[in-house]
Amino acid sequence: MVLEFDPAFIQAPEHRPKPAVTEAGGIPLIDLSPLHLLEQHGGPLVAGLEVLVAQVEAACRDWGFFQVINHGVPPAVVERAWAASRGFFALSPEERRRVRRDEVNPLGYYEAENTKNVRDWKEVFDFVVHEPAVIPSPGDDADGGADRLIELRNQWPKFPHGFREALVEYAEATEELAFKLLELISLTLSLPPKRLHGFFKDQTSFIRLNHYPPCPSPHLALGVGRHKDAGALTILAQDDVGGLDVRRRSDGEWVRVNPIPNSFIINVGDIVQVWSNDKYESAEHRVSVNSQRERFSIPFFFNPAHYVMVKPLAELVDEKNPANYEEYNWGEFFKTRKNSNFKKLDAENIQIYHFKKTK
Ligand code: OGA
Ligand code: NI
């Protein structure tokens, strides 16, 4: 008997991964060691920091994607997060499902997520970085859900032991890095380093443990379908298997992001694209899977408060450079995107270009 591959996972032919991978020679690798200068920075920029800011600016402009080393997150903290993730996904399906997400709580374990209406070959565990995280109610607008807010709380599994502690520690360390990257991005836009911090009071950031099991038909399916991250920034840890592909801006080719030990991958999200009024663009990416090895990754999605109205920063627009976007509410955007990942919808997934002004 030939086992049928579940059609829910099958990508349209034009979105399937090609058998040959293009190795990403050009993705910028940035050494963050000059970051400690940021703390001392009051007046004019110190030379080391100036070079770093120029590197971040070029990487955001040309790729929207870069890798960082010497980022200040202790290797032992990352190691404990990997161990927690491996331990969790090694539990029996029944154990994992004890913390399964549902229509009421979107946090916890989930194995049936869609990207652009095609099922992803993955399972995830989500938790918010600050509890409770306040977001608009996921209910339909029709039932009055549009006006209601809900408080999200994490569902922690009983096993593996030390899971929660390891991940809380990881969240604290990566959040610190997220704020430093935000300061760097502000500097690249010629703004004061802390210009964007206020948006992250009451932040809705969350961390996801991704597990991509070996896939019998890796040429038909994707671990995560092509997408752009909706938030401000993503800080991603990946293991040594490889599979993350980013769309190269110069020629539209999918290129593989090489795993580098003790590094993080940073990508610009849609919000930074809008804030920067298109100086930067969020990069399209996806995850290819393989038939041999399972893969793990841990993205930190750095998201502002639900009530933040996202629009090009006032300092960057004037009569000669008008705003390219209408403002939109982050919480509503996030909710609409989440709903479409949760179930298949007829309507197209919400995208920032829906807020683009017509000229
Ligand atoms: C994501 C994502 C990449 C990866 O979860 O949004 O793009 O390598 N993950 O797992
Ligand atoms: Ni992503």
DSSP state of 282: P
CA of 320 to the centre of ligand 2 (A): 34
Pocket lining: 267 vs ligand 1, CB cutoff 6 Å: no
Residue 1 pLDDT greater than 60, yes or no: no
Confidence of residue 318 (pLDDT cuts 50, 70, 90): very high
Nearest CA to ligand 1 atom 6: 229
pLDDT band at 137 (very low <50, low <70, confident <90, very high): confident
pLDDT number for residue 249:
87
- Verify cis geometry, omega within 30 degrees of 0, for the bond prior to 28: no
pLDDT tens string 241-269: 999 999 998 888 899 999 999 999 999 99
pLDDT value of residue 337: 85
CB neighbours of 34 closer than 8 A, spacing ≥ 6?
48, 49, 51, 52
Q: Percent of the chain at pLDDT above 70?
A: 89
Distance (Å, rounded) from C-alpha 259 to C-alpha 264?
Answer: 9
Q: pLDDT value at position 334?
A: 93
Q: How far apart are CA 14 and CA 191, in angstroms?
A: 41
The CB of 229 under 6 Å from ligand 1? The reply is yes
Mean pLDDT across the stretch 323-338? 94
Q: Which atom of ligand 1 is nearest to the CA of 243?
A: 8
**Averaged pLDDT, 123-135:** 97
**In the structure, what pLDDT confidence band is assigned to residue 358 with cuts at 50, 70 and 90?**
confident
Q: For the segment 74-125, what is each residue's pLDDT rounded down to a tens digit? A: 999 999 999 999 999 999 999 999 999 988 889 999 999 999 999 999 999 9
Q: Is the pLDDT of residue 43 over 60?
A: no
Residue that has been written with the tokens 């179930």 in this structure: 343
Average pLDDT value for residue range 11-20: 83
User: What's the pLDDT score for residue 26?
Assistant: 78
Q: Given this model, what pLDDT does residue 18 score?
A: 78
Q: What's the CA gap between 235 and 171, in Å, rounded?
A: 11
In ligand 1, which atom is closest to the CA atom of 257? 8
Provide the H-helix boundaries in the chain: 36-40, 47-62, 75-89, 93-97, 163-188, 270-275, 330-342
What pLDDT score does 138 carry?
76
Lowest mean pLDDT: which of 20-29, 48-57, 331-340?
Answer: 20-29
SS3 209: strand
Place 191 in a pLDDT band, splitting at 50, 70 and 90: very high
- Give the pLDDT confidence score for residue 359 in this predicted structure: 66
pLDDT digits (tens, 9 = 90+) for 335-357: 988 877 666 655 567 898 899 99
From the list 38, 283, 27, the residue with the least C-alpha distance to 181 is: 38
Ligand 1 close to Cβ of residue 205 (< 6 A): no
pLDDT value of residue 146:
56
Instruction: Give 3-state DSSP helix, strand, coil % of the chain, rounded to 5.
Output: 30, 20, 45
- Judged by DSSP in three states, 11 sits in coil
Q: Are 204 and 334 in contact (CB under 8 A)?
A: yes
Q: What was the pLDDT predicted at 345?
A: 58
pLDDT for the residue numbered 3: 62
The atom number, within ligand 1, closest to the CA of 301 reads 6
CA of 283 to the centre of ligand 2 (A): 9
What is the number of the ligand 1 atom nearest to the C-alpha of 223? 10
> Looking at the CA of 208, which ligand is closest?
1
Q: Can you give the pLDDT at residue 348? A: 63
Q: What pLDDT, on a 0 to 100 scale, did the predictor assign at position 238? A: 98
Residue 145 above 70 pLDDT? Answer: no
* 230 Cα–ligand 2 center, Å: 8
Q: Is the pLDDT of residue 129 over 80?
A: yes
In the prediction, which pLDDT does 24 show? 58
Mean pLDDT of 167-176: 98
Q: What residues are neighbours of ligand 2 (ion), with CB under 5 Å?
A: 229
Q: Is the pLDDT of residue 170 over 70?
A: yes
Q: 272 pLDDT band (50/70/90 cuts)?
A: very high
67 lines ligand 1 (CB under 6 A): no
Would you state the pLDDT for residue 28?
Answer: 94
Q: Taking 80 as the threshold, does the pLDDT of residue 297 lie above it?
A: yes
Cβ of 238 closer than 6 Å to ligand 1, yes or no, is yes
Residue 286 CA: nearest ligand 1 atom is 7
Which ligand ends up closest to the CA of 341? 1
- Ligand 1, atom 8: closest residue by C-alpha: 244
Residue 273, pLDDT score: 98
DSSP state of 336: H
| Any atom of ligand 1 within 6 Å of the Cβ of 288 | no
Q: Is the minimum distance from the CB of 85 to ligand 1 under 6 angstroms? A: no
